[in-house]
Amino acid sequence: MARSITGSEAFVEALRLEGVEYICGIVGSAFMDPLDLFPAGGIRFIQVRHEQSAALMAEGYARATGKPGVCIGQNGPGITNLVTGVASAALNHTPLVVITPAVLSGAIGSQAFQEVDQMRLLAPLVKWQFQVNRPERMAEGIRGAFRAAVALRGPVQVDIPRDAWYGQWEEAEQLPAAYRTDGRYGGAPDDEIAKAATLLAGAKRPFIVAGLGAVESDAGADIAKLAEALGAPMGCVYMHNDAVPGNHPLAVGPIGYQGSEAAMKLMAKADVVLALGTRFNTFGTTPQYGIDFFPKRAHLIHNSINPLELGSLRPMAVGLIGDCRAVARQLVESIKQHTIAADRAKVMADVQAEKQAWARKHEEMSTSTNPTIHPRRALWEVAKATPAGTSIVADVGNVSGAANSYFASFDRARSFFGAGSLGGIGVALPTALGVSLARPDQPVLTLVGDGAWSMCLQEVMTAVTEKLNFVSVIFNNSQYGAEKRNQFDFFGERYYFTNLENPSFADIAKDMGAWAIRVTKPEEIGPALAEAFAARRAAVVEIVVDSKILSEPYRRDALRQPQRVLEKYMA
């Protein structure tokens, strides 16, 4: 039945019917009229302190729930501030609805106050765009945005000129089931599944590695069944440590930067690699611990939901396009028709031996007794003190990046949130705000370096205002450690512009209203974390770590030894 409605009402109603509970942003005159309706529409506006955080917070909420997050900003500078978070969502395949209020429709293109070409600005980053060129198309634009965000798994944009909030017309209410699906895809073609099953069944040393697609489709239990049927170790790709059940006997942890040596040694021996729900990003397969772990002669069976990713970075023997969980279930059934060549008992013995050897080595690496806190000792103590079931959000950086091997076992998907493929520093805190928003009754832990924290610390005020419950650990070594390591390796230890002069971040957090403590001794870390989690509110633990310890570089192949030609630049 048609009903009379205005532009702002159509906007809020379309969001309400999609089940939107939160919109992240900073208040602005460009959307003041619909903002006035949010409380009556059951929508909570989360006022952040920088629009970049709004996009990242909405993305964190989406990554934790699987539902699209929503962000908004004032036209012009508010939208330019959103860009980094939108880019992050694009590379993380996160459904994000980006609302970009614009200048009056009659002023578009006139260089009006606070005008930028917002459609062209975001065009390279979003999966779909819609500009509301008539008020009556408001609901159409919002419906299309959610349809595209869910189906295409990425950020989308609705651009709304200021005058589109007004006017009055009649339109019928539409529920989501009338205009979109849940975004799930089916499995791979039967003949390709048969090829893959034959190859896997004949493998003496199969290895399974799972990525984001396993997380998005909640395929962990099905991958575990497949691993059991094949007698195959199962690992995770870098930044997706929650892709398979970490407590399973065949789970061996993450490959990639500072990950599980056990996983990489076992993968290096494989004759068939089954990659599920991943594009095999080169960054995540860079050799670690001196192990070039991607086996050169192994057959690769590659699964992705995106046909453009299959075989794009590694040559494959079989390509399986389709939903990761559906494909895993297909393979489990198809494998039943084959005799398995792998010696399951021997594989299990090898897995346990490698895991035990790595556990011993990992503990030796992480239990320095120096009074100045070794970064790995800090990670070790933090991991020990973290309650079971905690969601982990890790930033980019030397210390927080090395957390890959310390938080390597999760019982459920959507529990580990890496910085993502954009690799921006300072993203973890606002992402954690979104995770905490999605899970108010569960513990959330953020791992951040001091350089990254300097870029986002203002959002502690958002956490306090919104009464969000999470713990942030700052590893303070007074430097941009990852870049300093590059200067150590390539530039004769000339540390230009990588040292930082920091205040007490704990004191600043206290001034913002958070619970906070500064730790300078290794034995203080565990008790400090226990207090922080017990506080059940925004909490900050600043750990002063040894600045002389520089972790492994992210990419040894990223730089070359410098060449100088002019005499004045020769050291």
Cβ neighbour number for residue 110 with a 10 Å cutoff = 10
* Coil vs helix vs strand at 524: helix
pLDDT of residue 173: 93
Read off the pLDDT band of 558 (50, 70, 90): confident
pLDDT of residue 472: 98
Helices (H), 47-158: 51-65, 77-92, 118-122, 138-152
Residue 556 has pLDDT above 90, yes or no: no
Report the distance separating Cα 419 and Cα 553, nearest Å: 16
The amino acid occupying position 124 is P
Own/partner contacts of 503-510, CB < 8 Å, gap of 24 or more, are 504/542, 505/450, 505/453, 505/457, 505/474, 505/476, 505/540, 505/542, 506/540, 506/541, 506/542, 508/457, 508/460, 509/457, 509/460, 509/538, 509/540, 509/542
Q: What is the mean pLDDT of the chain?
A: 95
Query: What average pLDDT does this structure show over 434-447?
Result: 96
Read off the pLDDT band of 334 (50, 70, 90): very high
Residues 383-423 have pLDDT tens digits of 999 999 999 999 998 888 899 999 999 999 999 999 888 88
pLDDT of residue 286: 84
Residues 486-515 have pLDDT tens digits of 999 899 889 999 999 999 999 999 999 999
Query: What average pLDDT does this structure show over 290-302?
Result: 93
pLDDT of residue 571: 64
Query: What average pLDDT does this structure show over 18-35?
Result: 97
pLDDT of residue 410: 95
Query: For residue 301, what are the β-bridge partners?
Result: 274, 318
Output the pTM of the full model.
0.95
Residue 102 has pLDDT above 70, yes or no: yes
Asked whether the CA dihedral 395, 156, 2, 135 is positive or negative, the reply is positive
Report the distance separating Cα 280 and Cα 292, nearest Å: 15
Q: Residue 391: which of 339, 456, 438, 461 has the closest Cα?
A: 438
Pair of tokens at residue 541:
């633990």
Query: What average pLDDT does this structure show over 91-104?
Result: 96
Pair of tokens at residue 498:
């990588």
| Greater pLDDT, 121 or 560 | 121
Residue 381 has pLDDT above 90, yes or no: yes
pLDDT of residue 106: 87
Phi and psi torsions of 3, nearest 5° = -140, 155
pLDDT of residue 337: 94
pLDDT of residue 554: 79
Residue 555 has pLDDT above 90, yes or no: no
Quote the percentage of the chain above a pLDDT of 90. 86
